[in-house]
Amino acid sequence: MPDKELQQAVQEDHRRPDGLDDTTVEALGELSKALETVHRVRGHLYSAHQLVGGADLTLDRVVELMRKAGHDEVADRVKRELLGRNLLPGRWTFQIMEEFDDGYFAAFQEIERDAREELAGGRRHIYEAEMKQRRRTHGMPGHEATPAEA
């Protein structure tokens, strides 16, 4: 358990509830960190969704230019085999995103939230708030505990 002075310095909405042990705070911190990583994955998936969609739309111009240049067989193949093609069997990227959001992502968020509710009274970032208090230089500009102190 952290000392009383540290707990007093941590803002109320990030303060460790009475009786919450160091290992649980660390575990909740790691769970939050894992969720943050999954948020980044989600962003990368949306980037892939937009990039693949843009590439597919560019194929219209490719077909047009191939035909203009007299390469009808290549144009036909691009149109037939690539234009509008599924990225995965039966799925365009929007369907992949929906499955990810409704499945893995939603479950991860729910489990992280439920763990915080059950173990820490719903408080977020307890581990990080305590680390901030340990690492900042008290009284030094740019090291204020809260925006109100800045």
Q: d(Cα 150, Cα 130) in Å, to the nearest integer?
A: 19
Taking a C-beta distance cutoff of 8 angstroms, is the pair 22, 1 a contact? yes
Local structure of 86: helix, strand or coil: coil
Q: With bands split at pLDDT 50, 70 and 90, how would you rate the model's confidence at 149?
A: confident
Q: d(Cα 5, Cα 26) in Å, to the nearest integer?
A: 19
12-53, pLDDT tens digit by residue?
Answer: 788 898 999 999 999 999 999 999 999 999 999 999 999 999
Local structure of 16: helix, strand or coil: coil
Q: Which residues pair with 88 in a beta bridge?
A: 91
43-98, pLDDT tens digit by residue?
Answer: 999 999 999 999 999 999 999 999 999 999 999 999 999 999 999 999 999 999 99
Name the pTM for this structure: 0.83
